[in-house]
Amino acid sequence: MFFFCMIIVQKKMKDVEISVPIVYGNAAFWLGKKASEYQSHKWTVYVRGATNEDLSVVVKRAVFQLHSSFNNPTRIVESAPFELTESGWGEFEIAITLFFHNYVCEKPLNLYHHLKLYPEDESGPMSTKKPVVVESYDEVVFTEPSESFLARVQNHPAVTFPRLPAGFTLPPPVPQDESKRKRGDTKDHPLSQWFLNFSEADELLQLAAARQQVQTHIAKLRRQISLTDGQNQPFKSL
Amino acid sequence: MDAKDILGLPKTPLSITQEKKSRPQKDSQRKPDGISREVYALTGGVAPLMPSIDVSQLKRRPPSDEKITWQWLPFTSSARKDNLELYHWVRVVNGVPPTGDYSFAKYNKSVDVIRYTDEEYEKHLTDPKWTKEETDQLFDLCEQFDLRFIIIADRLPTTRTVEELKDRYYSVSLAILVARAPSLGEVPGHPLVKEPYNVTQEIERKRALSMVLSQTKHQERKDTEVLAEAKRIAESRLAAQAAEEPDIPATLDIGPESAERAVGSGDTISPSNVQVHAAAAAPSTSVIADNSSTLASLRMLRVYLRTYALEQMVQAASSSAGLRTIKRVEQTLQDLGVNLKPKVPTKAVCAEHLELRKEILTLLNLQKQLQYKEAEGSSFRDGSYGDMPGSSKRSQRAVDQDRTFVPDSISFGVIPGDRGVKREQKRKGPGRASETPSSPAGAHKRPRKMKASDL
């Protein structure tokens, strides 16, 4: 009986996943009077928790790969907040590689962000006070999380914790010394006033409405098809 | 002056002299007066700018200091046994005719057929199914016809199959070879030993070949379909199985002692579980197979982005659709005010998005179906091609299939279902991939796979 339960648990763990919602992008300030030919903007590229929680519970380090024209284009950030500030004039693609703690995942993950300095609306005046901000929302999904991973992140606000299969219990979490560590969350980050809000509610509503329309249309078509079939039937019996 | 203005030509006299200068060059390129341009072009016209072949170089030959004559001389060939003397033209250089054997004699090759002595026959080669006489005859013919067994089979008075003859010949040759070899070591290199003739295999092989050759087109299509289906099932099974394997070692992390015990006596249960999973993950329809293999491969990644997962699932769901269909799905999404790529890709949003895409695909399929059926309907009612609705290729095909209902006054007097139909359709539609209607119009009860040509 015990072994049978173990097998069921093994099977169900297959469908368990931990997801970490993140937002990554950049904020760029025009330097105005202080701008030079090669340094017209000051920009910060970053990866943050979607609700501004500390990502360092899963992310060990982030590596930002900049354009080769930069000195030491491979910038390694070992602690949260995972960000990088530079000045320049050009827009280019930045490859961000996230390395996770050993108990989380041994494989790194790549993100790609196109650095944006200039506003979409080219006609508007450039401001030194209001930055150009481009952010993307995504979720990092970890499949088949190990028990130590689950134990470590349970109750952590940055992580979407899955529902565990019945009868499964985790050991209590190891208490972390929070006071000694630097704050890794971005709640009071200097750029936080510019961060965008991502709410799934709007998108869900949009999708639900669209699905409703499509389903109605499908039903109508099915009716029409059976009607036409009925009309065609007498001819086919010949 | 106004004309010059309009043409944009300069007005000063200086430029006129310039024009005069450039003209003679151009004149040599122009056609000669007196004949029209087209006629001149027929004769080769104006020469191309780049000379392709220098004609003057062609006729030149290296100046030869030899005196060449051709003489009618006799010759013999070593390939002949009878010393027959024939005559032919010979190229004589400086009065010296060429020496050597007839140049084609070297092509007179033949097979080395091993001949046995009567003694050897008695000792090694007797066989219940063959008389000595027959075997002798066979070997004579083999030598005469250089192992052309088809001819040999024809010439032998007894009725034996080619395979039987080959079998007898090769086994006799092998036996003699082995018998004559001074030691066993010298034999293995010989091709007769390395690749012995296998009668049953040969008969089977030829039978299979003739079966394949005589397969009807219908059979051929069915075979490829079945093979493709089997391949798909095998692949999805493989993906599901590969996903199963990491499960068992991964979950050993959960408590070392209990895991050991579980593996110990759970051995009988877990392998069958794996098999059940693999079998369950190999369903009959291709869409579900694509989905499960996508899920399996995602799981194997251990870490991935939600947007990436959605991309893969969308691809899997649209795998049976052509490019045009995919574009139409995207257009529909835009019309509905939905982002092609969700702005907030949470698990729920991605799931909804995927479902919406699948529903739109269904919608498009139904639209096509309705169009087809309506065209069918109007062809039934009208009974003439002139009233065909729109230029939909679908409706044309529907009409072509309904040949039985069309009065004889229409020109395609071809019986439905035979090759003529296919050719007619090909001529009508520009480059359309058509299929021979194998069933009467409208009787397509099976859901059809969407083809790019359907759109």
- CB burial readout B188-217, b (16+ within 10 A) else e: eeeebeeeebeeeeeeeeeeeeeeeeeeee
Residues A34 and A147 in one domain: yes
DSSP codes joined into one string, B150-166:
HHHHHHSSS---HHHHH
Number of structural domains, chain A?
2
- For residue A34, the model assigns a pLDDT of 87
SS3 A191: coil
Helix residue spans in A77-146 (DSSP H): none
> C-alpha B186: how far from its chain's center?
45
CB atoms B362 and A111 under 8 Å: no
Nearest Cα neighbor of A119 from A111, A127, A107 is A127
Residues A50 and A148 in one domain: yes
Is residue A12 situated within a structural domain? Answer: no
**CATH code of A138's domain:** 2.60.40.1970
Residues A147 and A206 in one domain: no
> What is the dihedral angle through the alpha carbons of B123, B126, B132, B138, rounded to the nearest 10 degrees?
-110
Is residue A85 situated within a structural domain? Answer: yes
Residues A118 and A216 in one domain: no
Q: Are A33 and A4 in contact, with CB atoms under 8 Å apart?
A: no
Q: Are B310 and A104 in contact, with CB atoms under 8 Å apart?
A: no
Contacts of residue A147 in chain B, CB cutoff 8 Å? 253-254
Rounded to a whole number of angstroms, the distance from the CA of A207 to the nearest CA of chain B is 7
Rounded to a whole number of angstroms, the distance from the CA of B150 to the nearest CA of chain A is 55
Residues A147 and A213 in one domain: no
Is the bond preceding A81 in cis, omega lying within 30 degrees of 0? Answer: yes
**Distance separating alpha carbons of residues A106 and B301, to the nearest angstrom:** 11
Is residue A40 situated within a structural domain? Answer: yes
Phi, psi of B418 (to 5 degrees): -105, 180
Is residue A142 situated within a structural domain? Answer: yes
Is residue A235 situated within a structural domain? Answer: no
- For residue B398, the model assigns a pLDDT of 45
Q: Are B76 and B102 in contact, with CB atoms under 8 Å apart?
A: yes
Phi, psi of B326 (to 5 degrees): -60, -40
The percent of residues above 70 in pLDDT, for chain A, comes to 88
Contacts of residue A211 in chain B, CB cutoff 8 Å? 352, 355-356, 359
Is residue A161 situated within a structural domain? Answer: no
Q: Are B378 and B392 in contact, with CB atoms under 8 Å apart?
A: no
User: Which of A99, A122, A154 marks a domain boundary?
Assistant: A154
| Largest CA-CA distance found in chain A, in angstroms, rounded | 88
User: Which of A102, A129, A154 marks a domain boundary?
Assistant: A154
Q: Which two tokens stand for residue A187?
A: 């709640």
B261-267: which pairs have CB atoms within 8 A and are 24 or more residues apart?
B261/A2, B261/A3, B262/A2, B262/A3, B262/A6, B262/A7, B262/A10, B265/A3, B266/A3, B266/A6, B266/A7
Query: pLDDT tens digit string along B132-167?
Result: 999 999 999 999 999 999 999 999 988 889 999 999
**Distance separating alpha carbons of residues B355 and B323, to the nearest angstrom:** 19
Nearest residue in chain B measured CA to CA from A13: B251
Query: pLDDT tens digit string along A94-125?
Result: 999 999 999 899 999 999 999 999 988 877 77
Q: Are B287 and B317 in contact, with CB atoms under 8 Å apart?
A: yes
Is residue A191 situated within a structural domain? Answer: no
How many CB pairs below 8 A link A and B?
A: 164
**Distance separating alpha carbons of residues A154 and A161, to the nearest angstrom:** 7
Nearest Cα neighbor of B138 from B120, B119, B113, B117 is B113
Q: Which two tokens stand for residue B389?
A: 């609705």
- For residue A188, the model assigns a pLDDT of 86
**A96, A200, A237: best to mutate for the B interface, most B CBs within 10 A:** A200
Residues A47 and A129 in one domain: yes
Residues A129 and A215 in one domain: no
Residues A141 and A49 in one domain: yes
Residues A203 and A150 in one domain: no
User: Which of A154, A189, A206 marks a domain boundary?
Assistant: A154
Residue located via tokens 């004149």: B27
The percent of residues above 70 in pLDDT, for chain B, comes to 63
Give pTM, 2 decimals.
Answer: 0.49
Return the number of other C-beta atoms located less than 10 Å from residue A71's C-beta.
7
- For residue A151, the model assigns a pLDDT of 85
- For residue B264, the model assigns a pLDDT of 42
Could you list the residue range(s) of the whole structural domain that residue A207 is in? 197-224
Q: Which amino acid belongs to residue B321?
A: A
Orientation of helix B347-382 relative to helix B306-317, angle to 10°: 20
Residues A146 and A205 in one domain: no
CB atoms B343 and A198 under 8 Å: yes
Residues A149 and A217 in one domain: no
Distance set, CA B41 to CA A133, B47, B52 (Å): 67, 10, 17
Q: Are B273 and B317 in contact, with CB atoms under 8 Å apart?
A: no
- For residue B42, the model assigns a pLDDT of 83
Residue located via tokens 């070692």: B249
CB atoms A203 and B247 under 8 Å: no
Residues A210 and A148 in one domain: no
Rounded to a whole number of angstroms, the distance from the CA of B326 to the nearest CA of chain A is 16
Query: pLDDT tens digit string along A10-32?
Result: 444 667 889 999 999 999 999 98
Is residue A174 situated within a structural domain? Answer: no
- For residue B419, the model assigns a pLDDT of 46
CB atoms B273 and A200 under 8 Å: no
HSE, side-chain direction, 13 A CA sphere, residue B355: 15
Which of A214, A215, A229 minimises the CB distance to B373? Answer: A229
CB atoms B337 and A141 under 8 Å: no
What DSSP element (H or E) covers B58?
Answer: helix B55-58
Rounded to a whole number of angstroms, the distance from the CA of A89 to the nearest CA of chain B is 28
- In this prediction, residue A87 has a pLDDT band, given cuts at 50, 70 and 90, of very high
- CB burial readout B261-272, b (16+ within 10 A) else e: ebbeebeeebee
SS3 B255: coil
Residue numbers of chain B with a pLDDT score lower than 70: 1, 4, 9-32, 47-52, 54-58, 60-63, 183-187, 243-290, 383-455
CB atoms A138 and B306 under 8 Å: yes
Give the ipTM of the model, two decimals please: 0.88
Helix residue spans in chain A (DSSP H): 2-13, 147-153, 200-236
Nearest Cα neighbor of B240 from B287, B277, B285, B283 is B277
CB atoms A200 and B346 under 8 Å: yes
